[in-house]
Homo-oligomer: A and B are copies of this chain.
Amino acid sequence: MRPRVVVIGAGFGGIGAATRLADLPVDTTIVDQRNHHVFQPLLYQVATAGLAPSDIALPVRGIFQDDENVDFRWATVERVDLGQRLVHVDSGPPLPYDYLIVAAGSQTRWFGIPGVEEHALAMKTLEDATSLRGHILAQFERATAEPTEIDEGALTFVIVGGGPTGVELAGALVELFEVLDRDFHHLDVTRARVVLIEATEHLLNGFTEKSQRSAIDTLEARGVEVRLGQAVDRAGPGRVHFKGGEVLATNTLIWAAGIQPAPLAEEIGIERGQGGRIVVRRDLRPPAYDNVFVVGDLAGAVDHKGKPYLQMASVALQQGHFAGRQIGRLVRGRRPWKFRYIDYGEMATIGRNAAVAELAFGIKLRGVLGWWAWLLVHLVRLAGFRNRLSVLFNWAWSYIRYDRQARIIVHPEDRGSHRAPASDIGTRHQP
């Protein structure tokens, strides 16, 4: 019988691994609680009505349609029995494995700040992004029906977290306002505010100071209020309280401040290190388990400078590819290599014609050039030929027409509520 591989998670790490495993003499099963892979770097485009959810989601089975040896199980992992080599799931029989790849990723981290999990909107899943889109549009509808609510924060959008997600969302949001200004004939859309909060003194931590400065300048020129060194103390209905005492009236508190490992990291019972990530050797295997690889956000591997790898798509993808290939080596009785990340750089878009990109070989692009580089890289990376065309089409439309076509509110129950009730749609629901 051929070796059986189970891959937990269909994010960049899991899909990366499975694409390599597809070419090996092994039978692979991917498990995920969603039936699709999400291109997370473009979630903010869905949240701001630039792209439709299906533009950035690919059915897992579709990706491996031609790979007879790759199967999929739509299920939530309940427990991993490392001794018996079994993955117990909530749908169908348990999955036996000879090799296991843990790529369960991460989830929103609320930091235990009072009221935040209850009152803030997350930006981590496709459901989060769709809910956020509905919520944002609903605020404008509310403001035009009851203009007095603007003073109570109906049009104040607070984004917490100055990383790429927060920056890209802030930039896209002010652009959405321009479209909505044409949509709403009797609303003073100039009253809409985007406030970007960052606890440290830097936006886009990890970028050079020049890029960081460029991001702040561009955001502020476009009307975003950037507040550095400010932290949230607590949140209540329609209010956010900052450390230092300031209170801001807002209906929309968007939480892009941090992530934490998926619950499986703890449940699996393997030693964890910094940030709750699973401790792995340089070959991405936990010390005591030679048939287990951990990749992506969950992996606590350190780079050659001794720091844990950044939790980003490109690291997860490369680690996934790596783990898949190493299983090929193990199957042939060879020893795995050590993982080495090839850094092609980082980029963040700040909106139309503006982005910062810090690429390999010291190439740094800002403004229009950075934006085109961003566009190109994301189009190339976006898995799936058809999605790529559809996204290109949507982007071209938005660019030429200054329009956002996907501004529909899908769940009517969003209407009038302080926040989208769909906030926990992303979590598991046992019927």
Contact = CB atoms under 8 A, between A and B. Distances in A.
B145 A184 contact: no
A: contact size bracket:
35 or more
Given A36-B408, A387-B405, A412-B425, 8 more contacts: A35-B141, A35-B409, A65-B183, A74-B141, A74-B145, A413-B431, A421-B429, A421-B431
A413 B429 contact: yes
Interface in A385-412: 386-387, 389-390, 393-394, 397, 401, 403, 405-412
Contacts of A141: 35, 73-74, 91
A416 interface: yes
B409 A71 contact: no
Nearest to A183: B61
**8 tightest A-B contacts by CB?**
A92-B145, A413-B429, A417-B431, A61-B183, A74-B141, A36-B408, A52-B54, A54-B406
A182 to B, nearest CB: 5
A53 B415 contact: no
Interface in A120-171: 126-127, 130, 137-138, 141-142, 144-146
B426 A62 contact: no
A75 interface: yes
Q: Give the number of copies in the complex.
A: 2
A59 B410 contact: no
B412 A33 contact: yes
Contact of A137 (B35, B127, B130, B403): B35
A202 interface: no
Interface of A: 33-36, 52-55, 57, 59, 61-62, 65, 68, 70-71, 73-75, 90-93, 126-127, 130, 137-138, 141-142, 144-146, 182-186, 386-387, 389-390, 393-394, 397, 401, 403, 405-413, 415-418, 421, 425-429, 431
A55 B421 CA distance: 25
B412 A62 contact: no
Nearest to A126: B410
Contacts of A54: 52, 405-406, 408
A22 to B, nearest CB: 12
A218 to B, nearest CB: 27
Nearest to A390: B393
Contacts of A57: 408
Nearest to A428: B412
Contacts of A431: 413, 415-418, 421
A46 to B, nearest CB: 10
13 contacts: A33-B412, A34-B412, A35-B141, A35-B409, A36-B409, A52-B55, A59-B183, A62-B405, A68-B185, A74-B415, A91-B416, A413-B431, A421-B429
A387 to B, nearest CB: 7
Contact of A33 (B68, B90, B144, B415): B415
Nearest to A429: B413
Contacts of A428: 412-413
A102 to B, nearest CB: 20
Contacts of A53: 52, 408, 410
A130 B142 CA distance: 26
A386 B410 contact: no
Contacts of A55: 52
A90 B379 CA distance: 43
B75 A145 contact: yes
Contacts of A91: 141-142, 145-146, 415-416
